[in-house]
Amino acid sequence: MTEATSPRVPLPSPWRPLRHRVFRDLLAANLVSDIGTFMQSVGAAWLMVSLGAGPLRVALIQTATTLPFFVLALPAGALGDIVDRRRLILVTESWMLAAAMVLAVVTFLGMMTPWLLLALTCALSMGDAIEAPSWRALLPELVERDDLSAASALNGVEFNLARAVGPALGGLLVAAAGAGTAFAVNAASFLGVILVILRWKQPQRVHTAPAETLGGATAAALRYVRYSPAIRTLLLRAGGAMFFATALIALLPTVAHAISTKSLSYGLLLGSFGAGAVLGALSLQRLRERMSTENILSAALALLAVALVAAGLLRSLGALCAFLAAGGAGWMVFISILNTMVQQLAPSWVRARVLAVFLLVFQGSMALGSVVWGAAAEERGVAFALVIAGSGVAATILLRLFAKLPNVDVDLSPWTHWRVPAAIAPLGYEPEDGPVLVTVEYHVDPEQAATFVEAVHRMGRLRRRDGASQWGIFRDLAQPDRYVETYIVDSWAEHLRQHERSVAADRPLEERVRHSTREAPTVRHFLYASKSE
């Protein structure tokens, strides 16, 4: 694994992704939708308090918002890869539109209760959770590969603008017209996204193998991540840093209250953080021209660490705003880099699922970190928790010494290097019958034996990544130049899918194996012989 570096040549403008009409329209529509979502959050919290609910049920609003992401992330990612992503987004957007309309109508009719509010909030979040992996996986289909980084940064700008504007507009609207109006505006905000997606003609994904089941697709995602060192590295770097960094967001309201009991202080601190995030996103492309990706990530984490320590030690509102702006820039650069790299390293057949795993690790680290640092602040004080968390963020920079960022300059286009085996249905078997044993017989040049063994073991990881449940390589004791590779796949259909999952980046390793042999390998397929036959 090599360090990911950026060429020291001028990179495309950070605004270049806007030349793609669908991306530009979706960015604008999503800005409106996210503003509506933040307005809904303000309205829900205020309505819960107005209904006389205690602190526990007020806090459960956040639980109702985040819990669906933990429960639905993996199956949502599987759905995003095995069904039409465009249709899935339309269904989830329509679901959220309907839930928001019910929320508004029930509120206007004066029939809202605390538990009904929680249920409808959870219903809204369920739609968002199911949509999220597919939404993120859509980005490479909207812009060119060279524009992925800038497009991801622009998405960050959009979200932070919504986070800055939405709560303020929501507070004004709730004060002027009530929570029901905020819910109605949120419902209307989904229409823009639905209209843009309806007009978009998605490129068709061609599959010749049988479609995956939900359970099989989920298992394939976990298997792919397990046998993809590059993806695992990104998950480690993201989860490790986010566990510590989330203390800043979790404890910021407490820090603001210690400075001033007025809500204005919290708004200024949060606004400074958001403004810094926007600045970081807009600066990322320029930074790539001057620094390696690894150095940019280290600098971003250093800014976050300093912001955490400053939040723990300083009590000057002006100084804290400056440090939080720097921390917001580091936060956005950190998220943009890792999110873009995950998209660049996941082939299209598994992209939504890998992004779902990334989202699960990211959100899980935030949730666990919030609990840990909240408990630490309660036990030892806010300053102690923030200083320790800041030190932890700084320590994660050292991960670059043994878990370097992977090279993302890889060709993930499909590569069919084996002849696709004939269908088995005419023989009286069904595609889901199995398991299937595949054997590949090689005759290896003795001088190349060591090279062959090393290369074929690396290829074994690719076999497992793409579908094999067991793998092995064996040498014939009676004929030393004869090696037999064996692997087991759960079904004939899964083996056919395995043929579709190879990518062009695997080709050099395949050629290395072939160059160590005297002739083309012999491939055989064996179907498990059940007692009923």
Q: Poorest-confidence range of 4-8, 204-208, 216-220, 500-504?
A: 4-8
pTM above 0.95, yes or no: no
**Pair of tokens at residue 68:** 């669906």
Q: Which long-range contacts (CB under 8 A, 24 or more apart) does 137-144 make?
A: 137/80, 137/81, 137/85, 137/343, 137/351, 137/352, 137/355, 138/85, 138/89, 139/23, 139/343, 140/343, 140/348, 140/351, 141/202, 141/203, 142/20, 142/22, 142/23, 142/26, 143/17, 143/20, 143/23
The predicted model gives 269-297 an average pLDDT of 84
- pLDDT at residue 148, as a whole number: 76
Q: Are 308 and 248 in contact (CB under 8 A)?
A: yes
Q: Are 41 and 170 in contact (CB under 8 A)?
A: yes
- Identify the structural domains of the chain with CATH numbers, from first to last: 15-202 (1.20.1250.20), 212-410 (1.20.1250.20), 428-527 (3.30.70.100)
Residue with tokens 């055989």: 524
What's the pLDDT score for residue 430?
A: 76
pLDDT of 5 > 50? The answer is no
Residue-wise pLDDT tens digits, 326-354? 998 999 899 888 988 988 898 888 888 88
Q: What is the mean pLDDT of residues 260-278?
A: 73
Name the token pair of 54.
């205690």
Looking at residue 157, what is its pLDDT? 76
The Cα 446–Cα 326 span in angstroms is: 60
Query: Strand pairing of 436-443 and 482-489?
Result: antiparallel
Asked whether the beta carbons of 417 and 502 are under 8 A apart, the reply is yes
Strand partners, 475: 483
